[in-house]
Amino acid sequence: MNPVAEMLLSEPTPAAIWAALMLLCLPAVFLLASPHSLRHPRLALLDIIGTLRRRGELRRRAQADAVETTRYAQEMKVAADQARTAAHRWQQRRDKATAHTAAAWQAWQDADTDLTRLRAAAAWGTPQTTPTPACYADRERYLHRLVTTAINRGDLPTDALTSFDPRLHQFDQDVAVARAIVAHRRDCYHRAAAEEATTIHDTHLAIRSRDSLHHEYVTATVHAANVHHLLPTDRPTPRARRRPVLARAA
């Protein structure tokens, strides 16, 4: 190794001086490279300064675009995570609605079976007796117990107690209450089916939103990776802003 190289490697001060001299000589090199520059050195120097400024501006724009691209990718990650959680909750609601509809259907069918059985038994008729005040009191108590039990099971609405004639024979009361139970269970099934259809529709929307946001997140991540080398090294990583999820919250 020659003495000059050994000095530059062992002493940092001469190396810094040499580097500064090279930078100072750089405009002169550009000037000597062009005959036009020799004739008009001032204009050539202004062109060099303008070129350096334009390059610096382009570099700053590229860095700003890289920062924004990275921030957008992080925001899309937050939105995609929220959409995935919302879609999962809607799927759970859909499963519960489907199970509720199936149970409502079965309850309707069971009530209809009971009514069919009572109607078949009614073909034998009811005993013809002259009711007494005590008989009417028994019929009223029987009807009260019958309807209250049905309400507690959910077979009748809470205001059904006043919907029946307490003077009817107990067997006729059984048929009347069974008929009302079938009607109530049928209405419950129709409401459950309508709610299930709405929930299925909303679940499909949530799933589509989840898939769309996930695709956007993947695309944004690829773009951010392509410009990662342009990020300024003296700035912290951009933080993501929370974006609203397009899917309805569960």
How confident is the model over 114-143, as pLDDT tens digits? 999 998 887 776 666 677 888 889 999 999
Determine contact, residues 45/33, Cβ cutoff 8 Å. Answer: no
CA distance 88 to 38: 73
Residues in the chain: 250
The angle at the Cα of 174, spanning 170 to 178, to the nearest 5 degrees, equals 165
Query: Three-state SS for 67?
Result: helix
Q: Using the structure block, give the residue that is written with the tokens 């499963």.
A: 95
CA distance 81 to 221: 14
Average pLDDT for the chain: 81
pTM of the model: 0.66
pLDDT tens per residue across span 44-56: 555 555 665 666 6
The pLDDT of 222-231, averaged and rounded, is 88
Quote the pLDDT of residue 73.
93
Quote the pLDDT of residue 236.
53
Residue 199 has pLDDT above 50, yes or no: yes
Which domains are assigned to the chain? 51-230 (1.10.287)
From 34-38, 95-99, 141-145, 230-234, the region with the lowest mean pLDDT: 34-38
pLDDT tens per residue across span 78-127: 999 999 999 999 999 999 999 999 999 999 999 999 999 998 887 776 66
Query: Three-state SS for 222?
Result: helix
The pLDDT of 226-250, averaged and rounded, is 61
